[in-house]
Structure 1
């Protein structure tokens, strides 16, 4: 790691980042990338410090990284009363009776998507199931037409590429902005219709909510809707596929989970720690800050390396091992602001959909485990992960004992 030619932007790092994390933490815990004038932090204590000190480390970088494709400010950019009010509005859309209704919708969506593959005994858990499921479920929550899911997925692909790319070529930037503009054009008529005739969906909730006695503008609602779409869709399919990947790789733990389904929340929490779908969270230093004897100057962009922090031996015992019985994870708090792992971030801007993510993945995994009997990799399948900013399996082709009617 002392080699100045090493780069987290390299193809070698993108292909297998986990093999570099220990050396980064030990030899270069404050890693500077001159090509993008940014610092990468890999130790758990440093990452947690940045994410919890929202005055010293702001989200101003999102004005450039997210706002152009979100079509307005997102929750993570807000502070004070505005943040509290708008976050609580969104949270209400994922809790209580709303969450119970969503769980039923999740189960229905999952059953419909999986049904054609059960008699075949083969499924790509990413492309055939996980990705369309995540979009279907989120459209249901928002009250959008499920028949539009492929088009919405395409637009979200452009939005996600803009947010998660470290550097974008001009033609790709234009493509991403075009996707965002088309998504906005699709949403605005829906928003206007929900203002006139609100229902029980999240868009209606946002349209009828007020902040400081003033209703949110179409721009405000559009930004929050795209915020929810990206946050709910992007990590969900990755986490589900990674959960099954790790259980197949650890058959003794899969057998224990089948025997004791109460272990499922621990298996999901350990998946989030071991291979978090969101690998980088950016912040901007509001003033000079010192980490491991290195000064990060005011105004610098700081990338928190969640994957590296979640495998820090100062935070977890035997962190390179996948262990659903891990005593230092704390399953009960793993989906709250008190989580020891950092897969949902932490502090003021912790993921607003953590409870929903848990409910979605638990519901789907509990349904899949009995159906995917003797689950295994399909013959000839070669596992590969992609993504620097968000990361997950490119595909996950599985064989299992076919399920026939009756």
Structure 2
């Protein structure tokens, strides 16, 4: 059976301008969509995406050897299986849970307060570029134990690495730039790793340097890859989620008012934001054998992209899926940040995001600080809202006006 062809392609300007506008068409008319320009297949139904993400034997992460490893400088967690995956994942998970998580939350508060101090009296800020992006980098450097003075250059290198991973097509010039960023970050990390091996601290980098697998310490290459893995995973979605949360609440003032009255609803608002507008829109896998989806087949060896945004709006999985509803009965706040989540903003299965609990704590902490300080928060007059990105997606900027509250 031939593959159905939607009115737009994933690489088209129309799709890039507003992917959500086309999600229903992909689910209904193109259960399997083939994108010839990049020789890849796209799946958009909730059941199909969950099947791919949870069957790690039939759909592997081999594609990351090309999409991520060149800039990660080695294999990342999502490429690992078996004992190696369990051991290395547990190290990272411990850094984002329990007492360590409480320490990170304190650091989040301190960084957020420092960034907000000069912005608050102005009654105006760009939540993405003035606050969200710098905060994400600050917090991640704290977790890793990197020098705060290096924030700007680490952020620049990280941007190049993220561009490589999240671009579906790169020009030779941009590819070289991204690889240069990865090489410079690796060179920067090398002496820091050597220092942490000699004199470890409490940070995640020290834990990675001291860790062993099968009785053998991880190599500098292994440690570097995991550090870059954490850096990209922790910074890329954080500012997007915070900005999207505020945009949704501003656009739905009745739900904003509810969250202000009852801060316990903030976690539900974050979970619903992640479902409706997940910052990670595409997750790649490789089919190990021919795989049938309805009447269409994905051939063995093919790259498959799971369309998380489309799956999270599938009416077979969610009631009124295009509507923001912080009281949604089919989401479940408690399970939305765990492996039992109905939405797939954190992925699913073996390679579900290790930082889900940290993401919740970080966004909930920051939003909980900002909401009481920003009275009558609203979109700045004359501002034009625009999102960008296919692989990861979020606001380019979010100019806000507000009445500062002292306290």
Cα distance, 1:3 vs structure 2 = 5.2
Partner of 1:346: 348
| Mean CA deviation greater in 140-149 or 306-315 | 140-149
Which residue among 366, 382, 395 is the counterpart of 1:393?
395
Cα distance, 1:295 vs structure 2 = 0.7
Partner of 2:147: 145
Partner of 1:89: 91
| TM-score normalised by length of structure 2 | 0.98
Partner of 1:30: 32
2:327 partner SS: coil
> Which 4+ stretches in 1 moved above 2 angstroms?
1-6
Cα distance, 1:285 vs structure 2 = 0.1
Residues 241-283 of structure 1, C-alpha deviation per residue, up to 9 Å, x if partnerless? 0000000000000000000110011000000000000000000
CA contact (8 A) 1:61 1:301 kept: yes
Partner of 1:187: 189
Task: Give ranges in structure 1 of 5+ residues lacking alignment.
Answer: none
Cα distance, 1:167 vs structure 2 = 1.1
2:272 is equivalent to residue 267 of structure 1: no
Partner of 2:122: 120
Matches within 5 A, 1:349-368: 349-368=351-370
Shift of the 56–3 alpha-carbon distance from structure 1 to 2, 3 Å rule, reads: closer
Cα distance, 1:403 vs structure 2 = 3.7
CA contact (8 A) 1:72 1:219 kept: yes
Residues 83-142 of structure 1, C-alpha deviation per residue, up to 9 Å, x if partnerless? 000000111111111110000000000000011011111111000000000000000000
Shift of the 213–129 alpha-carbon distance from structure 1 to 2, 3 Å rule, reads: same
CA contact (8 A) 1:277 1:392 kept: yes
Partner of 2:297: 295
Partner of 1:45: 47
Measured in 2, the distance between the counterparts of 1:294 and 1:26 equals 13
Measured in 2, the distance between the counterparts of 1:31 and 1:4 equals 8
| TM-score normalised by length of structure 1 | 0.99
Matches within 5 A, 1:129-144: 129-144=131-146
RMSD: 1.0
Partner of 1:18: 20
CA contact (8 A) 1:121 1:403 kept: no
Cα distance, 1:402 vs structure 2 = 2.5
Cα distance, 1:5 vs structure 2 = 6.5
Measured in 1, the distance between the counterparts of 2:61 and 2:352 equals 12
2:403 partner SS: coil
Measured in 1, the distance between the counterparts of 2:31 and 2:298 equals 12
1:375 partner SS: strand
Which residue among 282, 285, 288 is the counterpart of 1:283?
285
